[in-house]
Structure 1
Amino acid sequence: MSRLKKLGFIDVHRTTLPVRRRVRSRGIPPALADNEIFYAESVREAARLLGKALSPATLALCDDDAHMFAASLHGMRLRDVSMLHIDLGIAATLDVPAMGPYFAVHMPTNGHAMCTHNGREFEANPIRAVVTSPGMALTMQFAHDSPQLIIRIEQEALARHLTRLMGGSLSRPIVFEPEMDLTTDAAMRWNGAIQLLHAEAFYPDSLVQHGQGIGPLEELLMSTLLLLQPSNYQTQLLLPAEQAGRRVVREALDYIEAHLSQRITMNDIAKSVHMSVRAVQQGFRDELGTSPMLYLRDRRLERAREDLTDAVPSDGVTVTSVAERWGFTHLSSFSVLYRKRWDESPSETLRR
């Protein structure tokens, strides 16, 4: 199995027996053409599987077209960013009572869908996307022949990335404005990031296909969304407070991120920001509620999990090699910390 096919939130193995296709899915990006997750002609089965890929939902069809229903889902995942393509074929209403722990940008590639989300009702079409936020209800009334490309970003990853960009912890959950105008000059940067994702996922010799460059590509997508799409943090992000403590923390976080696989001491971090050890420690306590070395340990645990999740049998990856790569010299201690954080052992993650 390719590392890009390990979605995690839905089983990527064929979910139904081969069936005669009523329709051929339209507009599937070439990068996803061979990554079919499911094809279903049963409304109940399609709703169940869409609920695993998105969030538990109900699906209702127009009675006149019900006999023509055929749904398909294609998808791939980097680490915390996934690209999905959903095609219901005919007019249908998808009702999600509460979105799961992720953000999503729904971009119709044809047709349109009337959407209700975050107190707003508007039409999504090839020039206007829907940006969803976790925990909120979403209703989409799909017109006939209205497939969608969806970029899914896990909530924890985006919050962690925004924390690093701002140099301080978040005081409230991130909430985006639901409408995204894809015709603006600024939106071209988002479109460019999506095209880069397509190219990296499509070409077999790309860096991403070999497990390299995934982090920077995800950071590009997350930064682009945070900077371009209005949210309850956009003003604060574009005009950061120039508090000394926050500036020190932001620079220290950048240093830690750039040297995660190397030996880092408290003195190294302090020297990188031209401040005393005590000042850096105080800044982390004030802005993040933790210490620099605990933050460093947690980030290394997260990178170790990423490596274990990305691994495929042909890589020959072992738990020991991953632990050592990220500075954990005692395997037993690493396993205890890992299980405490994710409620599973490193070897269980590797086998999935």
Structure 2
Amino acid sequence: MAQLSTGLGDLSRLQTLVDSSDLEETREIISHAYSPYQLDCLGDPREFAAWYAEDGFPGVTISGLRYGSAHLDAETLIKPQALETYLLVCQVTHGRVMVSRPGREEHVVGPGETYVLDPYRPFQVRWSPGAQMTTLRLDRDVVERAAADAFGVDGAVRARFALGGAVSPDAARTWGTISGAVHREVLGEGIARTNPLVATHLTQTSAALLVQTHRLITPVLDAGHTGLVAHSAVRRAMALVEERPDEPHTLADLASAARVSPRALQEAFRQHLDTTPLGYLREVRLRRAHQDLLTAGEDGSATVTDVAYRWGFSNLGRFAAYYRDRYGHPPSKTLSG
């Protein structure tokens, strides 16, 4: 069939399992490869065609899949059952697909764009004539462990993903780097096929970057959960604040250090610490100012103004208000002992 070469490599290197215009044969073979699913030709059934091929190394399976022909009119609709034991990261290479969770989400995906199908909810995909994609399959357990590591929690995390692709252009490029590496290992017959250490490393790295680059909609916080610590992004931002609280950090600075978007960092701080990144920065600065005022009260080494400016409080009235809210009295009282 045409169009087997993509920016991800030559898909003709994959092992072809289906190259057929028989709808029932296609449904049977691909149902066995993925999960049982409904397959319908939306148009003249004589225009139905399918191609499916796969290959991989331990931990990862790469597949190529196409339905219909770009020169004809018939679309294809698939409605798989829940995937259950694995996730699929799907990248469209030709045409368009409309992926949806009926009554909840709907997303049109074009060439070069990705979406994630997790194992927890049903979905359906409507293929334009001749649309083609590759899929990268990862075991659910590997992705759930990666999500737990990302959120800094004990045990696996139910890793549910929104359908909207990568969270940002930078995230899309990051995912493209690891996805390209995995495709090259499979399509170029790399050493991951025969080297278990390389295979494990690529699998775990793929899962970790999937969690970091695509939007999770997992309710991580659970009132009954024990052993919860801060999200890794929160920890990175906290470390910068604790190490250099006197520097003029902005939200963008902290988000860059945390390797997430400002909005994502705001949400992570809200979930895990019930504050904002800049609120946490202010709290750290207030603690440092308090310690300096206690020291200055003993040796007379600084004034309230000196301490406020040292820790980034250029508005003395606002500093006094924050300090009173935190310690119950004005900074001058701490200084005077």
TM-score normalized with structure 2 length: 0.58
CA distance in structure 1 between the partners assigned to 2:5 and 2:26 by the alignment: 19
Corresponding residue for residue 187 of structure 2: 202
Corresponding residue for residue 66 of structure 2: 87
Corresponding residue for residue 259 of structure 1: none
CA distance in structure 2 between the partners assigned to 1:31 and 1:45 by the alignment: 22
| Distance change in 2, residues 1:60/1:140 (3 Å) | same
Alignment pair present for 1:211 and 2:211: no
* Moved segments of 4+, more than 6 Å: none
| Distance change in 2, residues 1:100/1:59 (3 Å) | same
Give, in angstroms, the shift of residue 195 of structure 1.
1.4
Alignment pair present for 1:239 and 2:234: yes
3-state SS of 1:190 partner: helix
Give, in angstroms, the shift of residue 203 of structure 1.
3.2
Alignment deviations for residues 55-84 of structure 1 (CA, whole Å, 9 cap, x no partner): 2111111233x2132211111122222111
Pick aligned residue for 1:116 from 65, 87, 100: 100
Alignment pair present for 1:99 and 2:83: yes
CA distance in structure 2 between the partners assigned to 1:48 and 1:236 by the alignment: 43
Corresponding residue for residue 153 of structure 2: 168
Alignment pair present for 1:135 and 2:120: yes
Contact 2:49 2:67 in 1 (8 A): yes
Corresponding residue for residue 144 of structure 2: 159
Pick aligned residue for 1:58 from 38, 41, 66: 38
| Distance change in 2, residues 1:223/1:58 (3 Å) | same
| Distance change in 2, residues 1:181/1:127 (3 Å) | farther
Corresponding residue for residue 78 of structure 1: 57
Structure with bigger strand share is 2
Alignment deviations for residues 140-181 of structure 1 (CA, whole Å, 9 cap, x no partner): 110011011111111012223444555533475111111114
CA distance in structure 1 between the partners assigned to 2:150 and 2:100 by the alignment: 30
Higher mean Cα deviation, 187-196 or 227-236?
A: 227-236
Contact 1:25 1:87 in 2 (8 A): no
Unaligned runs of 5+ in 2: 70-74, 221-229, 238-337
Q: Which structure has the larger Rg over C-alpha atoms?
A: 2
Contact 2:14 2:54 in 1 (8 A): no
Alignment pair present for 1:44 and 2:24: yes
Q: How big is the alpha-carbon RMSD for the aligned residues of Structure 1 and Structure 2?
A: 2.9
CA distance in structure 1 between the partners assigned to 2:151 and 2:13 by the alignment: 38
CA distance in structure 1 between the partners assigned to 2:168 and 2:215 by the alignment: 15
Matches within 5 A, 1:18-29: 23-24=1-2, 26-27=4-5, 29=9
Contact 1:166 1:240 in 2 (8 A): no
Contact 1:31 1:201 in 2 (8 A): no
TM-score normalized with structure 1 length: 0.56
| Percent of pairs with identical residues | 15
CA distance in structure 1 between the partners assigned to 2:17 and 2:100 by the alignment: 27
3-state SS of 2:55 partner: strand
CA distance in structure 2 between the partners assigned to 1:167 and 1:114 by the alignment: 34
Alignment deviations for residues 31-74 of structure 1 (CA, whole Å, 9 cap, x no partner): 6524212223211121122212222111111233x213221111
Pick aligned residue for 1:185 from 155, 167, 170: 170
Alignment deviations for residues 249-270 of structure 1 (CA, whole Å, 9 cap, x no partner): xxxxxxxxxxxxxxxxxxxxxx
Corresponding residue for residue 110 of structure 2: 125
Corresponding residue for residue 149 of structure 1: 134
Pick aligned residue for 2:211 from 215, 222, 226: 226
Contact 2:67 2:76 in 1 (8 A): yes
Contact 1:227 1:238 in 2 (8 A): no
| Distance change in 2, residues 1:183/1:239 (3 Å) | closer
**What is the identity, as a one-letter code, of the residue corresponding to 1:76?**
D
Alignment deviations for residues 191-218 of structure 1 (CA, whole Å, 9 cap, x no partner): 11111112222334x3224324111111
CA distance in structure 1 between the partners assigned to 2:212 and 2:166 by the alignment: 14
